[in-house]
Every structure is written in structure tokens, then in C-alpha cells.
Structure 1
Amino acid sequence: MNFASVRIITTDIKPLVRFYERVTGKSVTQYTDDFAELQMPSATLAIGSTRTLQLFGGDHIAKAASNHSAIIEFRVEDVDREYQKLVDILGDMIIQKPTTMPWGNRSLLFRDPDGNLVNFFTPISPEALKKFDG
């Protein structure tokens, strides 16, 4: 089994598509007005409109812009450099400036336009580097 993707459900995918393209510097493939994907080497971030919920059984399956428990995480080469590039774009969406965490990652935490938490991190301790690089 392979972990393939996380899907964000939103009322309008266009703002999220633009946001994730800006913060990652990668192109998002928009297949329809209701579905797009940001494909990365290790997993995919899918973005689906609330209209796609009908395909899964109805509107009660998920609620847009109401995540309070999951964090979408991206490993980046240099989190401090990413912070400098994004600080003006993110503004008050920044939750935590780059901070070294007890488990050895340097982490930047912010919110996307729907309020989802996003973490850009760089492993910096020998243990964290070993975990991610093998």
C-alpha cells in the first residue's frame, strides 16, 4: 500500500489553486472546474469543490473550510529562505515563524485561504536528517 494524496474540499478551488502554486512554486493541474492536483514526488495534494461530494454520497461527507486537526506538510530545502520569500505574501496567515522543533525540524506554520494549517519544514538535526534521508 502507498499513501497517495490528501484532498482539501473547498467551495471554490481557484483561490486554493493560486495559493498553492504561489507558495510551492509548482504548477497545479486543474482537470475540471471542480478538481485539481498538486503532484509532488512523494504525494499529491488534491483540491476538490464541494460539488464533488455528491460523488461520494452527499454534502454531509465533508465541510469546506472547517479543518481543525490536520496539518498539510511540505519538506523544503531551506525553511528560512522560504519564509523570506513568502512573508509578504502570507502576511497575517503566518502562525509561527521558522522555529526549531524538539524533534529536529525547523518549521514555518501558516494557513491557506480556507484556514487549513500548512507546515513548511526542513530537517536539521542528525536524527531528523537520517529519518528523511535514510
Structure 2
Amino acid sequence: MNIVSIRIITADVKNLTTFYEQITGISAIQYTPDFAEVKMQSATLAIGSTNTLQFFGGGEVAASAQNRSAIIEFRVKDVDEDYQRLAKFIQPYLVQKPTIMPWGNKSLLFRDTDGNLVNFFTPVTPEAIKKFDGV
């Protein structure tokens, strides 16, 4: 079994899609005004409008801009390089500048425009590198 995608429900698909295009450098596929996908090598970040909730049982199934328990994580080649590239753009959303975590990843934390926590990380210790690369 594999995770194929994570879907964020939002009241503003266009704004959130633009945000993720900016931070990933990947153009989204906008299927409808209510649904877009940012496709990456290992998974897809789907962005769905609150209007799409009707297909899953109604508007009570999920709520936009309410997440306080999940972190959307991206493994990046060089977190310091990405921080330099995005520093001005993510400044209003910054939670933590690049910091080495106890488990060996260098991590940059910020929020997206809906308040969801985003982590860009690079494994930096031999143990963390081995965990992700199997080396």
C-alpha cells in the first residue's frame, strides 16, 4: 500500500494552488475551478474546494483552514537553498528558520495561506541520510 495523495480542502483553491506552485516550483494541473493537483515524483498534493465536499457526504465532512494536527512534509535537496529562495515569500508564514532536529533532519517550518503547517526538510546526519537513502 502507498500513499498516493494528500488533499487539502480550502475555500480558495486559486490562492492555495498559487502558494504551492510558488514553494514547490511545480505548475499545478487545474482540472476545474474547484480542484487542482500538484504532482510530484512520489505523491500528489490535491487541492479541493469546499464545494467538492458534496461528493463525500456534505459540507460537514471537512472544514477549510482548520488543520492543527497534520504537517505537510517535503523532502528537499537543500533546505538552506530553498529557504534563501523563499525567505521573502514565506516571511508572513514563517514558523521556524532551518534548524537541525534531534532526529537528524534540517527542517524549515512555515504555514500555507490556510494555516496548514508545511515542513521542508533535508536529512543531514549519517543516520537520517541512511534512513531516507538506504546508504
Q: TM-score, normalised by structure 2?
A: 0.97
Post-superposition offset of 1:92: 2.2
Q: Aligned residues, how many?
A: 134
Question: Hey, what's the Cα distance between the residues in 1 that align with 2:33 and 2:89?
Answer: 25
Superposition RMSD on alpha carbons, in Å?
A: 0.6
| Paired-residue identity, % | 66
SS at match of 2:54: helix
Runs of 4+, deviation exceeding 2 Å? none
Query: Which residue of 2 is the match for residue 26 of structure 1?
Result: 26
Structure 2 unmatched runs, 5+: none
Structure 1, residues 69-110: CA drift from partner, whole Å, max 9, x if none? 000000001001111111101112100000000000000000
- How far off its partner does 1:23 sit? 0.6
Partner of 2:122: 122
Structure 1 unmatched ranges of 5 or more: none
Alpha-carbon displacement from aligned partner over 1:23-79 (angstroms, at most 9, x marks no partner): 111111110011111111111110000000000000000000000000000000100
**Alignment of structure 1 residues 36-115 onto 2, 5 Å:** 36-115=36-115
Between the aligned partners of 2:130 and 2:26, the Cα distance in structure 1 is 26
Task: Give TM-score scaled by structure 1 length.
Answer: 0.98
